[in-house]
Amino acid sequence: MLIRYGTDKFGRPVKKAVVYTKNEHNIPKEKIDFDAILIINRLKDAGFHSYIVGGAVRDLIVGNTPKDFDIVTDATPSKIKRLFRNSRIIGKRFRIVHVVFGQKIFEVSTFRSNADGSSVGNEFGTIDEDVLRRDFTINALYYDPIQEQVVDYVGGMRDIKKHVLRPVIPLDRIFTDDPVRMLRAIKYSAKTDAKISFSLRHKIRANASLLSQISPSRLTEELLKILNSGCAAEIVGEALDTDLYMALQPAATAMMYADKKFESSYMQNLVKLDELIKNSPDARLGQKLVFIIKDFIISLTDWKKESECHTAYGELYTKTWTECRNFVLPMNPQRTELEFAVKAVLTELGIHGKIVQRRKKGRSKQEKN
């Protein structure tokens, strides 16, 4: 273990960070994306500092394979852009750079600081400042894949090992500055098997209603991450316990509060969803949505009778689809995926058929002939 020193305002040396070497962090280098290493190498060759940061480092330490690699550096966006022909600057308020390799996009950001007074961090800064705007210690580790060192300013490595979820941003601001952090808290607690302390849980419950201010697109993004996490049952259980699920899926939450049987079946379906993610991680979204809407569709009518009544399939399907679209609000999944899910559940319930497309009026002469 090495110590990184800085200086205080009087110029005296002060301990800033702990640096873990290869044998201490045990990150297998072969799990690092080759192109991420290439980006870091090029930034370093140009004289900049650069690290992999956040979720990828956390995942590597707990033994998971990261989905993506976020990179930070002290180079400004225009300097990053100049180093990579395959890159573009994005963002208005805070500019970051996307470096593109085929299907893969790497987000390369410049260190940011909280100098503007919020914990969102919208000004360029140093690594010491950048660390302070990250939500939890386990998400605030910096990994240098060339030297194979993990730089830890906040005790994140110890917290990962001890299974503790500890905020970096002060408790009185973390959730009021950005309520989505409450969802992130329960997600990472489940993903890394980390305990949420009594005071953190209390803060989440007290601020749960703030989630209603968040845009549907951001809530959709978070909910989809939860459904794809492979531990959706555990996260949704926590979200119900902390009153967060009311903002993510209000209709389902209300039905679960009202009906214990519905709740237990909904939760069992989430366990099945987690199995699907483990066995077929590339399953399409529609297959996953099946587990969210199944109990709701079952509750809509007596399906056995419906199948005996020979109601037109198109009519049944359209009604069910509309109900489901409202049921999953504020989540707004791709239309084709929700259609896929509704059809799959109807088929399971023995309702089959084809949707007959009505011809549009006023066909052209050519069409009529």
Q: Is 350 left (phi over 0), alpha (psi -120 to 50) or beta?
A: left
**CA nearest to 69, candidates 80, 58, 82:** 58
**Contact (Cβ atoms closer than 8 angstroms) between residue 140 and residue 168:** yes
Residue 171, phi then psi, degrees to nearest 5: -60, -30
By beta-carbon proximity to ligand ATP, the closer residue of 178 and 295 is 178
Exactly one of 33, 130, 135, 159 is catalytic; name it. Answer: 135
User: What CA–CA distance (Å, rounded) separates 121 from 166?
Assistant: 19
By beta-carbon proximity to ligand ATP, the closer residue of 135 and 159 is 135
Binding ligand ATP (rule: CB under 6 A), the pick from 33, 130, 152, 178 is: 178
Residues 253-282 that bind ligand ATP (CB under 6 A): none
Site string for ligand ATP, 216-255 (x = CB under 6 A): ---------x------------------------------
User: Which string of DSSP letters, residue by residue, matches 301-358?
Assistant: S-HHHHHHHT--HHHHHHHHHHHHHHHTTT----HHHHHHHHHHHHHHTT----PPPP
**Contact (Cβ atoms closer than 8 angstroms) between residue 85 and residue 102:** no
By beta-carbon proximity to Mg ion, the closer residue of 188 and 291 is 188
Residues 27-56 that bind ligand ATP (CB under 6 A): 54-55
Q: What is the largest CA-CA distance in the chain?
A: 90
Which residue has tokens 């089959």?
352
Exactly one of 33, 59, 70, 274 is catalytic; name it. Answer: 70
* Cβ 81 to Mg ion shortest distance, Å: 22
* Cβ 187 to Mg ion shortest distance, Å: 11
Which of ligand ATP, Mg ion, none does residue 135 bind (CB under 5 to 8 Å by kind)? ligand ATP
Q: Is 116 a catalytic residue?
A: no
Exactly one of 35, 68, 241, 243 is catalytic; name it. Answer: 68
Which of Mg ion, ligand ATP, none does residue 218 bind (CB under 5 to 8 Å by kind)? none
**CA nearest to 135, candidates 94, 98, 188:** 188
Q: Is residue 181 within the footprint of ligand ATP (CB under 6 A)? A: yes
Determine which helix (DSSP H) or strand (DSSP E) holds 96, and give its type and residue range. strand 96-101
Q: Is 135 a catalytic residue?
A: yes
* Cβ 120 to Mg ion shortest distance, Å: 17
**CA nearest to 111, candidates 49, 156, 153:** 49
Binding ligand ATP (rule: CB under 6 A), the pick from 33, 70, 238, 274 is: 70
Alpha-carbon 19 to chain mean position: 28
With CB under 6 A as the rule, give the number of residues binding ligand ATP: 11
Q: Which stretch binds ligand ATP (CB under 6 A): 87-95, 132-140, 266-274, 299-307?
A: 132-140
Total count of residues recorded for the chain: 369
Which of ligand ATP, Mg ion, none does residue 180 bind (CB under 5 to 8 Å by kind)? ligand ATP
Q: Which stretch binds ligand ATP (CB under 6 A): 24-32, 131-139, 213-221, 339-347?
A: 131-139
Which of ligand ATP, Mg ion, none does residue 137 bind (CB under 5 to 8 Å by kind)? none
Binding ligand ATP (rule: CB under 6 A), the pick from 137, 139, 149, 320 is: 139
Q: Is 68 a catalytic residue?
A: yes
Task: Count the helix, strand and coil residues of the chain and give each as a percent rounded to the nearest 5.
Answer: 55, 15, 30
**Contact (Cβ atoms closer than 8 angstroms) between residue 14 and residue 8:** yes
**Contact (Cβ atoms closer than 8 angstroms) between residue 121 and residue 16:** no
Residues 41-60 that bind Mg ion (CB under 5 A): 55
**Contact (Cβ atoms closer than 8 angstroms) between residue 208 and residue 183:** no
Instruction: Name the closest residue to ligand ATP (Cβ).
Output: 55
Which residue has tokens 């009202």?
258
User: What CA–CA distance (Å, rounded) separates 196 from 188?
Assistant: 10
* Cβ 252 to Mg ion shortest distance, Å: 26
Q: Using CB under 5 A as the criterion, which residues of the chain lie in contact with Mg ion when the complex forms?
A: 55
Residues marked active site are found at: 68, 70, 135
Q: Using CB under 6 A as the criterion, which residues of the chain lie in contact with ligand ATP when the complex forms?
A: 54-55, 70, 134-135, 139-140, 178, 180-181, 225
